[in-house]
Structure 1
Amino acid sequence: MWDSVPWFIGGGAHHSPEVARLLAYAATSGAEGVVTPGDLKVVPLDVPGSSVRALSGACFMLNKAAGGAQQTYVGRNPSEDVVAISATGSGSGRSDLVVARVEDPNMPGEPWNDPADPTTGPYIFTRVIPNVSPTTTTMPAGQSGIPLARIDIPANTATITSSMIKDLRKLARPRSWNDYDVQAGINAAGGGAEYIRVTDSDWRTWPLNTMSVTIPTWATHAQISIHLSGIGATGPGDVNTRIQLGNLFGAISYLDHNGNPGTPVGFVEKINHFAYAEFDVRAYQGTTQTLKVNSRRTFPQNTGDIWFGEGEQIAFDVRFRELVV
């Protein structure tokens, strides 16, 4: 039998909470978690003590009660919430789970009591579930809520520090976006390919190709790969490369070309090279930055010529992500 009042009927019709929660479920595709990257992060007190703080934010939580299928609660914490953590004794440590939990006594089979004022609640809380397994990362079965953090407390400890807090938050609807460009190599000034010489032992832009990248306002991280195809080489040569985005620099990648000693003088080999980096881009949100490759020669005893020009190709691949922070 249908729920007799669908969303939304006018004229003073009474809409059920089940249909309202169904709307939230459909709008979020049944996702659970925090809404934006910094929401509901669990941190120590400003002066570490026997409590922790759940910062402000919002979340989506599936209704796990009997009859709660395809229903989502939406919770909002407009200011930080402080909860106490019990001290451990001298015998052993303990792990506690900090959660955001809906306690809805109107759902059948739920153990929660009615609040003093049913019109204002509260029906949602930051709760501490003590003495869980030190590998726990999920809510207890059947409870409507999301895990925020696990506190792994050593023995004989009453002060909670950041090193004891394991962040368990997940974004309910993380965003991502890809930017991609393929370019032919650029000739150096005066014509001809751009060589990287044995004397180029300091970092410089090589190849000359760059890409202009606009960082989305929501992006927290970027994963970048750059593929150089058809690099020319006449003999052994070693090049370090690193990806640069704005003023951010990735880790070194190594181009270690040993040459082909069985070929005649003047033989040109074509080699490929791949570089990868991951950056925290929160400081660049909403800005446009230049993406390029820095390179330098190493092991000057390997003197083969290495170049990149219009006969070669470079592929830039950028993936922006939204992660909890």
Structure 2
Amino acid sequence: MTLVQPPFMTHGGRQQAQATRLLLHDLVRGGQGIAGASDLKVSPLQRPACGVRVADGSAIVHGTHPWQGAYGQVNVGDALVDIDPTGPFARTDLLVLRVEDPEYEGDRDPAYGDIGYFHVIQGVGPETVEVPVEMSAIPLARISLPRDTGTVTADMIKDLRQLANSRHQHRVHTAWPDGRQRLPGEPGRWTAWPTEAAWDVDIPAWASKATVTVTISSLQVEDGGVLARLRTTLGTARGKSSQVVAEQGATPHLFTTLAHTYTLTPAQRGVTQRLAVQANQDAEGGRGGLFVDRSTAIVATVDFTESPE
């Protein structure tokens, strides 16, 4: 195999299709799928019928042959796709965005028609999530049709879109208490504690989820047993709680981990939100005290991820 030369990068050169496809393949780091989180979403028709609509957006589709490269596809406005009604038997269809480049497969002529199109594969397995290996295509949705059905509803559509190159951001925040602190408040009442475990977090405009993990070291118990719960909060959202349990007597240097994945609403994106830790102590666990001090290290990691929506 000789080098594929990109003559369009040189003065006076002519564009070469294969070089462009290979360059696109490299630019998306080998990924394929939709470009943005809301691109090409499949929904029922506005008027009930046996069909679906595919929202506007763009995608990358890889060829199945070695050195074929990748194809960029753009859908402007909603595309309407017919789905055949069912008879006495149920059926599952797979809706894909397909590319047929006649140099490699099919007989579509790009000079006179589209080589990229929405294609329905009928009669697939009820758990199918991938396209056939010989087909240059990406899956968009699986449509499960009951018998004797002439209308596609939202509950029949399973979203199968994947981002070609999803974005990710990892952030680490740390804190140390200024001095010795006992968990305050009435039993069963959530309190912001430890006081220093709070950070202002900038949420990316593209983020769909935030996975928060907080570790607290060198928690101490004195003056009896303790049953306490701790959780994270992000803005007004509250995470799942973890327990700290200690029997009667002094128990130094406990360690706890809090974890929760927050689904971010549009109002939470592109703004600054307060990430904090809250705690409360259960009276039934004993009257001991839960403490932190200068030896306590608090570490919060936040992973923002993008996913189809």
Q: In the alignment, which residue of structure 1 is the partner of 2:289?
A: 305
CA distance in 2, matches of 1:143, 1:87: 25
Q: In the alignment, which residue of structure 1 is the partner of 2:107?
A: 112
Residue 6 of structure 1, CA deviation? 2.7
Residue 15 of structure 1, CA deviation? 2.4
CA distance in 1, matches of 2:191, 2:5: 70
Q: Does 1:154 align with 2:146?
A: yes
Residue 280 of structure 1, CA deviation? 1.7
> For 1:231, what is the secondary structure of its paired residue?
strand
CA distance in 2, matches of 1:278, 1:168: 21
- Cα pair distance change 1:4/1:80, threshold 3 Å: same
* Contact 2:91/2:147 (8 A) holds in 1: yes
> For 1:19, what is the secondary structure of its paired residue?
helix
Q: In the alignment, which residue of structure 2 is the partner of 1:264?
A: none
Pairing 1:152-301 to 2, within 5 Å after superposition:
152-187=144-179, 193-197=180-184, 199-209=186-196, 210-234=198-222, 235-260=224-249, 267-281=250-264, 282-300=266-284
CA distance in 1, matches of 2:151, 2:178: 59
Q: CA RMSD in A?
A: 2.0
Q: In the alignment, which residue of structure 2 is the partner of 1:94?
A: 91
CA distance in 2, matches of 1:237, 1:157: 59
* Contact 2:227/2:285 (8 A) holds in 1: no
Q: Does 1:37 align with 2:37?
A: yes
Q: Does 1:64 align with 2:48?
A: no
Percent pairwise identity: 30
The Cα offsets for residues 44-86 of structure 1, whole Å up to 9 and x where unpaired, read as: 1234431111111111111225xx5251100011111111112
- Cα pair distance change 1:86/1:269, threshold 3 Å: same
Given the alignment, which residue of 113, 120, 123 partners 2:115?
A: 123
Alignment-mate amino acid for residue 291 of structure 2: W
Q: Bigger shift: 301-310 or 227-236?
A: 301-310
Residue 30 of structure 1, CA deviation? 1.9
The Cα offsets for residues 173-208 of structure 1, whole Å up to 9 and x where unpaired, read as: 111111112211244xxxxx2222572421120111
- Cα pair distance change 1:237/1:198, threshold 3 Å: farther
- Cα pair distance change 1:167/1:111, threshold 3 Å: same
> For 1:208, what is the secondary structure of its paired residue?
coil
CA distance in 2, matches of 1:14, 1:156: 55
Alignment-mate amino acid for residue 307 of structure 1: F
* Contact 2:6/2:20 (8 A) holds in 1: no
- Cα pair distance change 1:143/1:298, threshold 3 Å: same
Residue 252 of structure 1, CA deviation? 2.1
* Contact 2:5/2:19 (8 A) holds in 1: no
Given the alignment, which residue of 96, 99, 103 partners 2:100?
A: 103
Residue 146 of structure 1, CA deviation? 0.5
* Contact 2:219/2:296 (8 A) holds in 1: yes
The Cα offsets for residues 128-168 of structure 1, whole Å up to 9 and x where unpaired, read as: 11111112111122211101111111222222122211111
CA distance in 2, matches of 1:63, 1:301: 62
CA distance in 1, matches of 2:248, 2:93: 58
> For 2:67, what is the secondary structure of its paired residue?
coil
- Cα pair distance change 1:85/1:16, threshold 3 Å: same
* Contact 1:88/1:153 (8 A) holds in 2: yes
CA distance in 2, matches of 1:314, 1:233: 17
Residue 268 of structure 1, CA deviation? 4.5
Give ranges in structure 1 of 5+ residues lacking alignment. Answer: 188-192, 261-266
CA distance in 2, matches of 1:299, 1:49: 59
CA distance in 1, matches of 2:183, 2:3: 73
Q: Bigger shift: 2-11 or 56-65?
A: 2-11
Q: In the alignment, which residue of structure 1 is the partner of 2:9?
A: 8
Q: How many residues align?
A: 305
CA distance in 1, matches of 2:71, 2:252: 62
> For 1:213, what is the secondary structure of its paired residue?
strand
> For 1:18, what is the secondary structure of its paired residue?
helix
CA distance in 2, matches of 1:47, 1:308: 61
Q: In the alignment, which residue of structure 2 is the partner of 1:55?
A: 55
- Cα pair distance change 1:47/1:204, threshold 3 Å: farther
CA distance in 2, matches of 1:225, 1:219: 17
Alignment-mate amino acid for residue 278 of structure 2: N
Give ranges in structure 2 of 5+ residues lacking alignment. Answer: none
